[in-house]
């Protein structure tokens, strides 16, 4: 027996469904058939989950963070020590960043070891490779933002690594830093990349990546004679 | 509750866990966002103005000092100017020199025995009350205290 409340909810669902087709979308995404798989197949979802945490905590941090050399460090200290639960928001974002890198690599290893990148899933793999590079870029640009000694020297080292790129290394480093060395120009460009450019590209690619996962379905665990 | 299938159970369990995770981040996030708007910094502190001996019965004396104000992680100094007067050298009254009409600075005009605001010719009496002009309320006053010869006002 459906209760009155359930009937009412179903009516609202019908009304919205008639105008949006959400039930088909829901079924296609969440009620799709999958082969019998193991827990390693949850690594992609785990990465997506941490990504959502990063987006939410990142947006929250932007309410107080100021990407300006004289204030950046003080605003981070204010978030961490003075705001209620600022330590939690920043902590989640900080450790979430490490989790993103670890989970992305673990997810990629599962795909490699199970041969899940093969036909017809090459595009999912290719978008995944770009997504992994984007995750590293997030880590690199975000590392400078607290504007402390560790941030400064990590960026010195990171850009010097970029400098040894054949032919374009010197130019690449100058473009990354907005000059010959870390300056007032470096912080806003890392910030702009970290909160606008990279998220726009990453979220678009995540959309394509997930569409392809749903479109092609997931692989089963390869058997001994595969 | 007999018709709870495995599927229904899992759907509910996932919904409850998602709700719990959402609440664990959502509740701190709300506190984090509205936190600073509840903070009233510096109020109720006693600010030293100067020597009580410099205020004698008669004309009010304009005393100036600076206070440190914090906004978030920034600290800046603001000038505070207060007219202090006394009738007996024991009890002191302190009035802000900011006109309650549009915020211009008032000055003491001795021969009219009143605070004169140059913007709209308003005049306040010695006790801060409005004599003539557009101001909607008397000059703001401060609680005063004298300790070891120094006058303090309580920050409002």
Mean pLDDT throughout A57-65? 97
Mean pLDDT of chain B: 88
Interface with chain A: mutation pick from B25, B41, B71, B76, highest number of A CBs within 10 Å = B25
What are A144's two structure tokens? 């400078």
pLDDT level of residue B3 (50, 70, 90 thresholds):
confident
- Please give, rounded to a whole number of angstroms, the shortest distance from the CA of A94 to a CA of chain B: 15
* Judgement on whether residues B70 and B27 belong to the same structural domain of the protein: no
Is the Cβ pair A84, B28 closer than 8 Å?
yes
Mean pLDDT throughout B26-55? 83
* Residues from chain A contacting residue B32 (CB–CB below 8 Å): 60, 63, 83-86, 88-89
DSSP string, chain B: -TT--HHHHHHHHHHHHHHHHHHHHHHHHHHHHHHHHH---STT-EEEEEEGGG--SSS-EEEEEEEEEEETTEEEEEEEEEEEEESSSSSEEEEESB-TTT-PBPEEEGGGTEEEETTTTEEE-TTS-EEESS-SSPPPEE-EEEETTEEEEE--
Interface with chain B: mutation pick from A83, A91, A93, A146, highest number of B CBs within 10 Å = A83
Binding-face residues of A in 47-76 toward B, CB within 8 A: 53, 56-57, 60, 63-64, 71, 74-75
* Residue with the larger pLDDT of the pair B39 and A54: A54
* Judgement on whether residues B21 and B76 belong to the same structural domain of the protein: no
* Residues from chain A contacting residue B28 (CB–CB below 8 Å): 84-85, 88-89
Is the Cβ pair A78, B73 closer than 8 Å?
yes
Is the Cβ pair B25, A92 closer than 8 Å?
yes
Q: How many CB pairs under 8 A join A and B?
A: 40
Task: Give me the domains of chain A, ranges plus CATH numbers.
Answer: 37-216 (1.20.810.10)
* Residues from chain A contacting residue B36 (CB–CB below 8 Å): 83
- Pick from A74, A75, A86: CB nearest B32: A86
Query: What's residue B91's pLDDT?
Result: 86
* Listed range (A5-9, A100-104, A174-178, B12-16) with the worst mean pLDDT: A5-9
Mean pLDDT throughout A115-142? 97
* Listed range (B42-51, B82-91, B133-142, B145-154) with the worst mean pLDDT: B42-51
* Judgement on whether residues B86 and B32 belong to the same structural domain of the protein: no
* Judgement on whether residues B90 and B132 belong to the same structural domain of the protein: yes
Mean pLDDT throughout B101-118? 90
The number of folded domains in chain B is: 2
Interface with chain B: mutation pick from A51, A88, A90, A96, highest number of B CBs within 10 Å = A88
Is the Cβ pair A89, B28 closer than 8 Å?
yes
* Judgement on whether residues B52 and B127 belong to the same structural domain of the protein: yes
Query: What's residue A145's pLDDT?
Result: 97
pLDDT level of residue B43 (50, 70, 90 thresholds):
low
Residue A3 in this model has a pLDDT that exceeds 80: no
* Judgement on whether residues B31 and B54 belong to the same structural domain of the protein: no
CA proximity to B52, closest of B79, B18, B24, B90: B90
Domain extent at residue B102: 46-154
Query: What's residue A39's pLDDT?
Result: 96
* Residue with the larger pLDDT of the pair A177 and B61: A177
* Judgement on whether residues B97 and B29 belong to the same structural domain of the protein: no
Is the Cβ pair B32, A85 closer than 8 Å?
yes
* Judgement on whether residues B98 and B143 belong to the same structural domain of the protein: yes
ipTM, two decimals: 0.86
Dump pLDDT digits (tens) for A187-198.
999 999 999 999
Give the domain CATH number at B93.
Answer: 2.102.10.10
pTM: 0.83
Which chain B residue lies closest to A59 (C-alpha atoms)? Answer: B29
Which segment, A113-122, B97-106, B112-121, is predicted with the most confidence on average?
Answer: A113-122
* Judgement on whether residues B28 and B89 belong to the same structural domain of the protein: no
* Judgement on whether residues B14 and B83 belong to the same structural domain of the protein: no
Residue A50 in this model has a pLDDT that exceeds 90: yes
Query: What's residue A224's pLDDT?
Result: 84
Mean pLDDT throughout A114-139? 97
* Residues from chain B contacting residue A85 (CB–CB below 8 Å): 28-29, 31-32, 35
* Residues from chain B contacting residue A89 (CB–CB below 8 Å): 28-29, 32
Mean pLDDT throughout A92-112? 98
Binding-face residues of A in 73-112 toward B, CB within 8 A: 74-75, 77-78, 82-86, 88-89, 92
Measured in Å, how far apart are chain A's first and last C-alpha atoms? Answer: 49
Laid out side by side, the sheet with B61-71 consists of B61-71, B74-86, B92-96, B141-142
8 Å CB contact between B122 and B101: yes
Query: What's residue B39's pLDDT?
Result: 67
Residue B23 in this model has a pLDDT that exceeds 60: yes
Query: What's residue A63's pLDDT?
Result: 96
* Judgement on whether residues B89 and B14 belong to the same structural domain of the protein: no
* Judgement on whether residues B21 and B86 belong to the same structural domain of the protein: no
Mean pLDDT throughout B38-54? 77
């Amino acid at each position: 027996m459906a209760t009155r409340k359930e009937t009412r909810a179903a009516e609202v669902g019908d009304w919205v469904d008639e105008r949006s087709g959400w039930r088909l979308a829901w079924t296609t995404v969440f009620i799709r058939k999958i082969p019998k798989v193991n827990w390693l197949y949850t690594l992609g979802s785990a990465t997506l989950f941490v990504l959502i945490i990063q987006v939410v905590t990142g947006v929250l941090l932007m309410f107080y963070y100021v990407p300006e050399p004289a204030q950046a460090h003080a605003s981070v200290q204010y978030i961490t020590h003075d705001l209620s639960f600022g330590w939690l928001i920043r902590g989640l974002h900080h450790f979430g960043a490490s989790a993103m890198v670890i989970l992305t690599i673990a997810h990629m290893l599962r795909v490699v070891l199970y041969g899940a990148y093969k036909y017809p899933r090459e595009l999912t793999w290719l978008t995944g490779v770009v997504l992994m590079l984007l995750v590293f870029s997030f880590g690199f640009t975000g590392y400078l933002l607290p504007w402390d000694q560790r941030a400064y020297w990590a960026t010195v080292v990171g850009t010097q690594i970029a400098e040894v790129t054949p032919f374009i290394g010197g130019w690449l480093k100058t473009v990354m830093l907005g000059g010959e060395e870390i300056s007032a120009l470096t912080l806003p460009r890392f910030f702009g990349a970290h909160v606008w450019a990279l998220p726009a590209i990453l979220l678009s690619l995540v959309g394509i990546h997930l569409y392809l996962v749903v479109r092609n379905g997931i692989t089963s665990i390869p058997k001994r004679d595969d | 509750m007999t018709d709870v299938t495995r599927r229904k159970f899992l759907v509910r369990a996932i919904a409850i866990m998602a709700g719990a995770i959402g609440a664990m981040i959502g509740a701190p996030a709300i506190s984090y966002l509205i936190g600073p708007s509840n903070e009233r910094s510096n109020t109720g502190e006693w600010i030293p103005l100067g020597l009580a001996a410099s205020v004698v019965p008669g004309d009010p004396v304009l005393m100036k000092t600076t206070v440190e104000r914090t906004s978030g992680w920034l600290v800046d100094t603001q000038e505070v100017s207060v007219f202090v007067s006394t009738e007996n050298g024991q009890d002191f009254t302190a009035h802000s020199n900011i006109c309650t009409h549009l915020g211009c600075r008032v000055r003491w005009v001795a021969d009219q025995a009143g605070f004169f605001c140059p913007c709209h010719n308003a005049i306040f009496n010695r006790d801060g009350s409005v004599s003539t002009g557009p101001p909607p309320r008397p000059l703001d006053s401060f609680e005063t205290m004298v300790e070891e010869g120094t006058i303090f006002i309580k920050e409002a």
